[in-house]
């Protein structure tokens, strides 16, 4: 495979051995690298921005802390949250039960329009959501007033409804074609 003669190979080895081991750069590259990685503004001009960011972060923390510390009645009076949905669900709210049943019926009808692989993935996702809901309900049985558990239950219920709605919405063109 090698067409070189021993004499040519020796000459090449000698020429390679004569090459220098290191080549210094033609100029010092560090000043350009240093200026590229250092900020342009001196540090003394950045402290007002850092101070403003600190105040904003503190204000955000205060708002979040006040929201978490609010009693359930205050939160329930506001917009529909996971907490409100969970309270309605734990009380067996008829409107919520009817909404779930209607969404689930449409979901089951439309699920058949999807490919088997997609259908299996969606069914798996729904199973995960429903398993989480069961776990949360069991935990609520031990601690029925846990705000965290109620928020989690509301959140998983919202995820369940969103999954039902997404399947119904994305299969709508197919459903209308199969009905006519």
pLDDT per position in the chain (180 positions), as tens? 556 676 677 888 888 888 888 877 778 877 877 777 776 555 555 556 566 666 666 665 555 555 544 444 333 333 456 777 878 887 888 888 888 888 888 889 888 888 899 889 989 988 888 888 888 888 888 988 888 888 888 888 888 888 888 888 888 776 565 554
| pLDDT for position 49 | 59
Domain residue ranges of the chain, discontinuous segments joined by +: 46-71, 79-179
Question: What SS3 string covers the chain?
Answer: CCCCCHHHHHHHHHHHHHCCCCCCCCCCCHHHHHHHHCCCCCHHHCHHHHHHHHHHHHHHHHHHHHHHHCCHHHHHHCCCCHHHHHHHHHCCCHHHHHHHHHHHHHHHHHHCCCCHHHHHHHHHHHHHHHHHHHHHHHHHHHCCCCHHHHHHHHHHHHHHHHHHHHHHHHCHHHHHHHHC
| pLDDT for position 47 | 56
| pLDDT for position 39 | 62
| pLDDT for position 77 | 37
Tell me the whole-structure pTM to 2 decimals.
0.52
| pLDDT for position 72 | 42
């Amino acid at each position: 495979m090698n067409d070189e003669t021993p004499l040519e190979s020796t000459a090449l080895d000698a020429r390679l051995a004569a090459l220098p081991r290191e080549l210094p750069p033609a100029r010092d590259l560090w000043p350009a690298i240093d200026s590229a990685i250092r900020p342009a503004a001196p540090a003394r001009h950045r402290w007002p921005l850092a101070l403003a960011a600190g105040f904003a972060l503190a204000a955000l923390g205060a708002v979040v802390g006040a929201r978490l510390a609010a009693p359930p009645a205050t939160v329930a009076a506001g917009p529909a949250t996971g907490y409100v949905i969970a309270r309605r669900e734990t009380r067996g709210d008829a409107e919520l039960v009817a909404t779930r049943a209607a969404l689930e019926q449409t979901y089951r009808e439309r699920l058949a329009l999807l490919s088997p692989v997609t259908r299996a993935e969606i069914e798996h996702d729904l199973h995960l959501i429903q398993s989480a809901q069961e776990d949360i309900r069991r935990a609520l049985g031990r601690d029925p007033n846990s705000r965290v558990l109620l928020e989690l239950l509301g959140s998983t219920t919202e995820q369940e409804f969103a999954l039902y709605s997404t399947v119904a919405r994305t299969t709508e063109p197919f459903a209308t074609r199969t009905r006519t």
